[in-house]
Amino acid sequence: MLNSRMRRTRTPLLAVAGAALAALALTACDSGTGTQDEGAAKHSSSAATSEGTPNANQPSADAKGGQDATGAKDGTGSGTSSSGHASARQSSTGTHRGSSGSGSGSGASEPWDPANRVLCNGSNTRVTAQLQSRPLNHMLLTVTNTGSKYCDLTYYPVLRFDGMQWAPQADESTHPQAVTTLAPGKSGYAEVRLSAADGSGDGGTTAHQLTVYFQGKTPKSDGGATANPTLPAKGVYYDSSLEVTYWQSDLSSISGW
């Protein structure tokens, strides 16, 4: 009898326990936990993987990086790229202008270009001879460059009055530090002492013609065409003390000679 009662008591309890477990299972399903929650996690991971894969119809991250490289760092796109092309065009123009400027610089304005340097002589200059009252018995020679190139007045003028057979020497104290170079239209100078002021010279005579010889690149070498400046109608008196200065670009450097 007792065993029969115990069996009857356990049966309802087991039934109640089974019902409770079933209810808990239903509650877990409704709350989205348990096995269904694991399924949601798998779905989310799959979605993330799908989003991370580049679409074939869209540029990849590397492609976008390549486009940005042609523009500014702010990724402004084609507008920035156009500015870059404009800068390249400006740079090209600047180089072209620089080349043009270099070409124009090799013209007659560049005195150190050998193509623009010639010797001064009677073919590209105008020479005048002017007697001076002070210093006494002196004459000034002025050479003006009438050519289109720079010309060099080398050393000193070699003078010959009428048919004289000797040439006056130059005063070495007047030797300039550099060759006298004349730009087109500019002048150079040399002083001539015709005779001794105290009458100590000998062989004095009056000349009516003067020939000016130009020297070349070495002393006493031929520099080209000669010049024949006009002398006063009364002529020029000279004696054995005849002497000249070196060519000068500044008249003041020999004004007191």
Structural tokens at position 151: 């010309």
Q: Is residue 237 part of a domain?
A: yes
Residue 188, burial from CB neighbour count under 10 angstroms (0-12, 13-18, 19+): buried
Q: Is residue 68 part of a domain?
A: no
Q: Is residue 221 part of a domain?
A: yes
Residue 191 contacts residue 257 (beta carbons within 8 Å): yes
Give the phi and the psi of residue 9 in degrees, each rounded to 5.
Answer: -70, -40
Cβ count within 10 A of residue 12: 9
Four-point Cα dihedral 34, 36, 37, 38, nearest 10: 90
- What pLDDT is attached to residue 169? 94
Long-range pairs for 220-223 at CB < 8 Å and ≥24 separation? 220/155, 220/158, 223/119, 223/120, 223/121, 223/154
Q: Is residue 108 part of a domain?
A: no
What is the domain count for the chain? 1
Q: Is residue 106 part of a domain?
A: no
- What pLDDT is attached to residue 109? 56
Give the chain's residues under pLDDT 50: 1-108
Q: Is residue 205 part of a domain?
A: yes
| Predicted structure pTM score | 0.58
Long-range pairs for 220-227 at CB < 8 Å and ≥24 separation? 220/155, 220/158, 223/119, 223/120, 223/121, 223/154, 224/119, 224/121, 224/122, 224/123, 225/121, 225/122, 225/123, 226/121, 226/122, 227/121, 227/122, 227/125, 227/127, 227/143
Residue-number span of the structural domain to which 250 is assigned: 116-254
Assign 236 to helix, strand or coil. strand
Residue 108 contacts residue 182 (beta carbons within 8 Å): no
Structural tokens at position 240: 């054995």
Over residues 162-204, the pLDDT tens digits come to 989 999 999 999 999 999 999 999 999 999 999 998 888 888 9
Q: Is residue 14 part of a domain?
A: no
Q: Is residue 220 part of a domain?
A: yes
Half-sphere exposure of 219 (CA within 13 A, CB side): 4
Q: For residue 74, what are the contacts with CB-CB under 8 A and spacing of at least 6?
A: 80
